[in-house]
Amino acid sequence: MLIAGGGDTVETLLKDPVLRDLIDQVVIIENDPDRRLALERLGDVLVIEGNATDTSIYENIDMSEVDVVLALTSKDEVNFLVLAIATQFNVPIRIGVFKDDKVAEIVKNLKLGIPVIKPAITAGVIKQMLTSLVNPRVVAQLPASELRIYAVTIREDDLAAYTKLEELHLEEENAQVLMVYNGKEIVPAQPDMELVPGHILFILAQDEKFLGKIKGITPSS
């Protein structure tokens, strides 16, 4: 994982044991020497001192080994550029934080990555995305029932990306989308809602059979 920016969101993510178990190696680009020292104290983190807009930095990183890029600086224009660079290197998972809705919309339209719009609870949203991009994550077990509520994040290469919710026909797998996090807020699911990368679906189902209709893969037993 490559992270641009080393603020409080990064510290919260790196202190989370669930995420640390998912990530083999973390590289952070941070231009503040004091922040660099603070991040290095977290352990198992390589911090590169520099500006994330300096393209020469990426020449010294084996980008073919990077599967996740998080653009978490305080500047929208920097995060935009970081996602654009990651796109050029074909990094599969790209998430950026943006304060301006219009910039976030451009990121989405250009398919540069998944925009998270502040003031979301940033660390929590990113954790939810990272832990449910490949496999569904159970977020609730209904009492006296075999039904569960799963969280599933849409990514660019999913079958469901850029399709309407009703076109998934999840009812064929006895599954129903209850709510959708659209990068800004949680809203009720609507049949004509277009699903884009970064949307988190909250799905009521008994098992994970629905996953084939969303991601095109057979869930592990």
Please tell me whether residues 67 and 166 are part of one structural domain.
Answer: no
Instruction: Look up the CATH number of the domain holding residue 199.
Output: 3.30.70.1450
State the pLDDT at residue 134: 72
Are residues 211 and 172 both part of a single domain?
A: yes
Query: Could you tell me which residues are beta bridge partners of residue 138?
Result: 150
- Give me the pLDDT at residue 1, please: 93
Which residue range(s) make up the domain with 19? 2-132
Residue-level pLDDT at 86: 95
**81 plus 180 within the same structural domain:** no
Residue appearing with tokens 């209904």:
142
Q: Within this chain, do residues 167 and 197 fall inside the same structural domain, yes or no? A: yes
Domains contained in the chain, number: 2
Residue ending a domain, choose from 71, 101, 132 = 132
Predicted local distance difference test score (pLDDT) of residue 83: 95
Q: What is the residue-level pLDDT of the chain in tens, covering all 221 positions?
A: 999 997 888 888 888 887 878 787 899 999 988 888 888 888 888 999 999 999 999 988 999 999 999 999 999 999 999 999 999 999 999 999 999 989 999 998 999 999 988 765 577 778 878 888 877 888 777 765 788 999 999 998 999 999 999 999 999 999 999 999 887 778 899 999 999 998 999 999 999 999 999 998 765 54
Domain shared by 128 and 159, yes or no: no
131's enclosing H/E stretch is: helix 122-132
Contact 176, 168 (CB under 8 A): no
127, containing H or E segment? helix 122-132
CATH of the domain at 126: 3.40.50.720
State how far the Cα of 204 lies from the Cα of 138, in Å rounded to an integer: 10
Query: Is this prediction's pTM over 0.85?
Result: no
- Asked if residue 220 belongs to a domain, the reply is no
